[in-house]
Copies of this chain bind each other. A is one copy, B any other.
Amino acid sequence: MTKEEEIRSRTRAAILKALGHPTRMFIIEKLHEKPHCVCELTEMIGADTSTVSKHLSVLKNAGLVVDSKEGTMVRYSLACTCIMEFIGCIENVIRNNLQRQLDYFT
A residues with a Cβ closer than 8 A to B are: 1, 5-6, 8-26, 29, 44-46, 62-64, 79-80, 82, 85-87, 89-90, 92-94, 96-97, 100
Taken together, the copies of this chain in the complex come to: 2
Q: CB distance A94 to B17 under 8 Å?
A: no
Q: List 23 A-B contacts (CB under 8 A).
A: A5-B26, A8-B29, A9-B25, A9-B29, A11-B94, A12-B22, A12-B25, A12-B94, A13-B19, A13-B21, A13-B25, A14-B20, A15-B93, A16-B20, A16-B90, A17-B21, A18-B20, A19-B20, A63-B94, A63-B96, A79-B93, A85-B89, A86-B86
With a cutoff of 8 Å between Cβ atoms, the chain B residues found around residue A24 in the complex are 13
How close is A97's CB to chain B, nearest CB, in angstroms?
Answer: 4
With a cutoff of 8 Å between Cβ atoms, the chain B residues found around residue A87 in the complex are 12
With a cutoff of 8 Å between Cβ atoms, the chain B residues found around residue A90 in the complex are 12, 15-16, 80
How close is A8's CB to chain B, nearest CB, in angstroms?
Answer: 8
Q: CB distance B17 to A20 under 8 Å?
A: yes
